[in-house]
Amino acid sequence: MDLYISDSILEKLLFEDIQYVDLTTGVLGIGSVEGVARVFFRENGVVACSEEASRIYELVGARVKYFVGSGEWVQANQLVLEAQGKASSLHLAWRVAQTLLSYASGVATYTRRMVEKAKRSNPGVVIATTRQTPPGTRPFYIKAVLAGGGIVHRQSLSDSILIFDNHLVFLEEHGVSGAVKRALKLGGGRSVGIEVKDIEEAIEAVESGAYYIQFDRVQPNILKDWVKKIRGLSSRVVIGVGGGITIENIEEYASTGVDVVVTSAPYRARPIDVSTRMEKI
């Protein structure tokens, strides 16, 4: 799945690392020497943001000769990206491109492993990540999740209507039913979702017209029973669960029969170990 990430975003990454001049390359007098930079993973993993890493090399004047696309699984020591150009260009792009690949591919690899584990017990389940990306990184982390086979639950507040307890406390008429009905009336035809604490709130939400309900921090053995009860009320409602779900317990939650597992765990994944090797041409 393609994701648009503008050059202006990538240029900000470059400026953050370069500031004004590459002092080391300059004082050594090697800037005009032609060379090649080859990027490898030191471990197996899913590639993410290789297109953006390649574009970073191009923005500083290098020529990209090869790269492995986002979403592809690569083995340790397999070539992921190759760029040619002056040493000045290669060194300007080196760390920015490598670090972006490292973090994004770590997220993609963790996501892929979560998806594979979840689908063992529930082939139709969707792994969806939250908006809780590190500030300033959202475009790259979203692309990484997509590369890993997940989806993003909400890219921003403008994506959808999703009601939480922190919304309910500000309503004059408290209660799940009142909130859902108000959102349906004023939402311009959009479907309405709501986070619920227990089966009573879930039933109230469904009967009020909610399209999506999301249980929060419910133990899998309890959730499995609640899912059956909701299915008995409505075949159209989409059921999600979130809160504390990681690669260690994803199978348990998927096996409850939910449609969506919502998690932030991939964003905290360990970066892939990436290496860049340069040679003079």
231-258 tens-digit pLDDT = 999 999 999 999 999 999 999 999 999 9
Cβ contacts of 274-277, under 8 Å, gap ≥ 24: 274/39, 274/40, 274/41, 274/42, 274/80, 274/98, 274/101, 274/102, 274/105, 275/39, 275/40, 275/41, 275/42, 275/98, 276/37, 276/38, 276/39, 276/40, 276/94, 276/97, 276/98, 277/37, 277/38, 277/40
Enter the tokens of residue 135.
């500030």
135-168 tens-digit pLDDT = 999 999 999 999 999 999 988 999 999 999 999 9
Enter the tokens of residue 211.
């399209």
Question: In Å, how far from its chain's centre is CA 71?
Answer: 12
Amino acid at 153: H
Work out the angle at residue 152's Cα, subtended by the Cα atoms of residues 259 and 131, and round it to the nearest 5 degrees: 115
Residue 11 pLDDT: 98
Cα–Cα distance measured from residue 44 to residue 202, given in angstroms and rounded to the nearest whole number = 42
What phi and psi, each to the nearest 5 degrees, are found at residue 44? -70, 145
- The low-confidence residues of the chain, meaning pLDDT below 70, are 1, 174
- According to DSSP, the residues that pair with 37 across neighbouring strands are 83, 278
Residue 1 pLDDT: 62
Domains of the chain and any CATH numbers:
7-109+270-280 (3.90.1170.20), 114-268 (3.20.20.70)
Enter the tokens of residue 67.
């790269």
